[in-house]
Each structure stands twice: as structure tokens, then as C-alpha cells.
Structure 1
Amino acid sequence: MSQDKIYYNILNTAASNIGLSFDDKKYEQFIKYKDLLKEWNEKVNLTAIKEDEEIIKKHFIDSMKIFKFEPLKKAKKVIDIGTGGGFPGIPMKIIKPEIDMFLLDSLRKRINVLEDILHNIEINDVTAIHGRAEEYGVNSNHRQQYDAVVSRAVANLAVLSEFCIPYVKVGGYFVAMKGPAVEEEIKGAKKAISTLGGKIEEVIEVEIEDSDLNHNLVVIKKIKNTPKQYPRKAGSITKKPIA
């Protein structure tokens, strides 16, 4: 079996296992995305993962699996905070093109790269934003304007919640992608989540097909408005998480 066929089957199986459709166009976008990611990674640090199959499993399928949380399939306006190399936002957009997707990252170089990638894989309706999460979180164009906020950023859940929950509409969701050992983080973040207007709804275990990789989706529902004083400045958020 050709490598192309193997990759197509892996992606197709992953999509169908969470009830999403897959086709040749989506496959071509993923493969072009992979190639551009590798090419740009020589100049700008986007990922430590460099093997084709690992990119497909650890980035693309991992990102796609966020739809294991069913209500995300109905979200119209979504923002990916701390998107880095475009994860999970770009794979989400490829697999579900009707989402109005926003990507936020604090590094201008990365945003430039993502804009180039999006243009080359022929996705023209994603908004890539250069800026800091705590600054846009107080901006009335973004604060409490999203059906869902997603993040795979490497930050403690209490810290990440203060960066992300302010963006979520009441009734919407913040979905944090976390590793397998997440219980302690959740315990330490409960006060922050509650203070910011959220409530942990569920933790969903996710496995990646044809691998021993697994992680968790921490699903937080926005049940009330975030108080005006949040998010604080970045230094305060990271040095003194809400506890």
C-alpha cells in the first residue's frame, strides 16, 4: 500500500470515528499543510515533530479529535488561543469548513507563516490575529463573542482559563486539550474556573488511532459573565494564578 493511501486511511478512519466526513479535497489540504509546516519549520519554530506520520497523528488527528465533544460540531464562531503552528484551529477548519475560525498567537512571525499556509492550502476565510490573549480578552470585539474557545497551549489550566474563558459567550464552551495526567491540574484550577464564570462539565478521554497516544479534553461551560477585572495582565496571571 502506498504511503498516500496509508495516510488517507488513517485520517479518514479518525474522522469517521467521530462522525465527521472526509474526502480527497480535505486530504490534499492536510498533506499540503504538512509539507508547508516542515518547510517553514526550518525558519520559524512551529513544531518539534518532524516525521510525516507523527505530524499526521500528533497534530492533525489529535486536533481533529476535539470534535469528540459533540457540541463543538455546532459551534459557529471559534477562536484558538495560542495557536502556534495552527493547532487545533486549522485541522478543525479543514475537517469542518463551515466554522468561522480565528487563530490568535503572540508571535508575529508565526501569524505570518499561518497566513501563508492558509493561502496555499486555499482556506481564505480564517482570521489570524497577532496579539496577546490577555489584551484581546478585554477588547469588546472579542470578549464573550465566541461559541467556543479551544487551546492546546502549554500552560497550567488555572492560567489557561484566565487567558481563555473571557472570550466565551455565556452558554458556550472552553475546551482545553491536556495530557493524560490532568486530575491535579483540574483540582488546582477549580477556583479560577468558577471565578471566571465557568464550570467543568466533563473530561473526555481521547485516543489516537493506530498509536498508544492519548490525552484529555477538559470541557468548561461558561455559565455566567466573566468579572470585569479579568483577565489581568500577563505577569499577574502566570505569577499569581487565581486560587
Structure 2
Amino acid sequence: MLPEEFRLRLEADGIQLDDRQMAQFADYFRLLVEWNEKMNLTAITEEKEVYLKHFYDSVMLALAVRLDPTASICDVGAGAGFPSIPLKIVFPELQVTIVDSLNKRITFLTHLAETLGLTGVRLYHDRAETFGQNKAFRESFDYVTARAVARLNVLAELCLPLVKKDGFFFALKAAKSDEELAEAKPAIAAMGGKFMEEIAMSLPVGGDERHFLVIQKKKETPKKYPRKPGLPNKQPIK
């Protein structure tokens, strides 16, 4: 998927990109490849693959669920900025917060946001467990998202404490896993969440599947969650 194909496909999906937004995506691709030579950001560096498997893949969340374009979204373990930065380019009024445990990635994302002229983007070098216990951020976001970070039972503990009541946690997965969802049900419930639906979509080129797990926050998360750094991964809730 080359840049113009990306633009036309999104147009067919009901999303119009102007020249400035296309230039932002072009700069994003250029910086991703440039910085990837000195630090590990992605294994995907070919232009048509980046536009398909990173940019379009990220924007697919907005095609799967109806996002409020002015909402606040926290991206946990965003890596090179997916899905939150492509969503921010498409929806400039979206308020984006990114938390990542690797400071090198935060340095890249800071430079990226400045180069692309993005406002309303906050970046934090922190562990999700610590961040989720911070009163300034806890239960303050309309949406929280995570893309291929960990198994769902771990993600639920890392992400749901950050979601405000009646807000949503979106887990982005490359493959359907009924087993993973089943094992995560106790963790989702313990965090005050409720699994709503799984939306399956396919990439327009190649047909690779993508799965969007939609979990709504129904009750406040007990204060003991998330537990200390490392514990959700070592001892997932059962």
C-alpha cells in the first residue's frame, strides 16, 4: 500500500486526508526508518508495508469502533507510536497520552511529535503499573489502547485502571484467541471491566486478520490494582 493508495483507501472508508496530513505520514515514515537504524523500533521498514501494517493498521481502530475525535486516549506500551500517533494525525483534536517503559522510544516519539507539529500529545517514560497508580492519570481517560504488548489477562490489569468509568479499553490483536479471552475474564472483572465484543477485520492488501477486543469500564478499579511492576506479568490474575 503506497501513500496514494493509503489515501484513497481511507477515502473509501469515509476518512479524508488533506495534504498536510499526508505530509505528516510521509515524515513519520522517514523518521521511523531513520531512527530504526540506531534503535530497534520496528522490523517493518519497506514503505508500502509501513503504510499498510503500521499506519492503516492503526487507523483501523477508528473503522472498527466509533471514536469520539476529541476524546482522550492513553496508549500503553506504544513503541514507535502505534496506534495512537496515526490516529492523532487523522483526528488532530484527539488528546493523546503515551506511556512507555523505554526512554529511547520516548525520545523518538518526542522528536516525532515536534517534527510533525502535533499538539495535545503527552509522553511519559514510566511502567504501566506505576502510571496506573498515579492519581493524576488513574481512571482519567476516555479510551486506553494497547497493541500486541502482552496477553489479555496482563493487559487488563495494566490498562483498565487508567480508563474512566463508562470509558473503553481496546486491545488490538493480530489473531483471534478464544482461549486468551477466556483466561482474561477474571482479570477484566477484577478491574471493573466488562467484555463487550470482538470485532474482526482484514487488512485491504494481503487479507491479514486484525481483532479488536472492546472492554467497557463499568466499576471503579480497586485501589490495589495495578500491582507492583512485573507482578501482573509474573502472576496474572486467575
TM-score of the pair, normalised by structure 1 = 0.94
Tell me the equivalent position of 1:169.
164
Q: Is 2:236 aligned against 1:209?
A: no
In the alignment, structure 2 segments of 5+ residues that lack a partner are none
2:124 alignment partner in structure 1 = 129
In 1, the alpha carbon distance for the partners of 2:235 and 2:188 equals 14
Residue 84 (structure 1) aligned to one of 67, 73, 79: 79
CA-atom RMSD in angstroms = 1.4
- Offset of residue 122 of structure 1: 1.5
Partner SS for 1:72: coil
Segment of structure 1 superposing worse, 230-239 or 84-93:
230-239
Task: Tell me how far apart the structure 1 counterparts of residues 118 and 12 of structure 2 sit (CA, whole Å).
Answer: 22
Deviations 1:198-223 (A, max 9, x none): 01111011211122222100000000
Would the aligned equivalents of 2:144 and 2:162 in 1 still touch at CA under 8 Å? Answer: yes
Aligned to 1:227: 222
- One-letter amino acid of the counterpart of residue 112, structure 2: I
1:236: Cα distance to partner?
Answer: 1.7
1:80/1:149 contact within 8 Å kept:
yes
> Tell me, what secondary structure is at the counterpart of 1:97?
coil
Count of residue pairs brought into register by the alignment? 238
Q: Which residue of 2 aligns with 1:145?
A: 140
Shift of the alpha carbon at 1:179?
Answer: 1.7
- Between stretches 86-95 and 181-190, larger displacement belongs to 181-190
Q: Mapping of 1:88-99 within 5 angstroms? A: 88-99=83-94
How far apart are the structure 2 equivalents of 1:144 and 1:15?
34
Task: Report deviation, 1:75.
Answer: 5.5
TM-score normalised to structure 2 length: 0.96
Among 3, 8, 16, the residue aligned to 2:4: 8
Matched, 1:194 2:183: no
Which amino acid in the other structure matches residue 45 of structure 2?
Answer: K
Question: How far does residue 86 in structure 1 lie from its aligned partner after superposition?
Answer: 0.4
Counterpart residue number, 1:154 = 149
Give, as a single letter, the amino acid of the residue that structure 1 aligns with 2:37.
Answer: E
| Structure 2 partner of 1:63 | 58
Q: Can you list the C-alpha shifts for 1:172-228, whole angstroms capped at 9, x where unaligned?
A: 000000122321110110110011100111101121112222210000000000011
Q: Percent identity over the alignment?
A: 41
Match of 2:101 in 1: 106
Structure 2 letter corresponding to 1:41: N
Q: Distance in 1 between matches of 2:64 and 2:232?
A: 28
Q: Partner of 1:159: helix, strand, or coil? A: helix
For 1:26, give the aligned amino acid. Answer: Q
Post-superposition, which runs of at least 4 consecutive aligned residues in structure 1 deviate over 4 A? Answer: none
Question: 1:144–1:22: structure 2 CA closer, same or farther, 3 Å change rule?
Answer: same
Which consecutive unaligned segments of at least 5 residues does structure 1 have? none
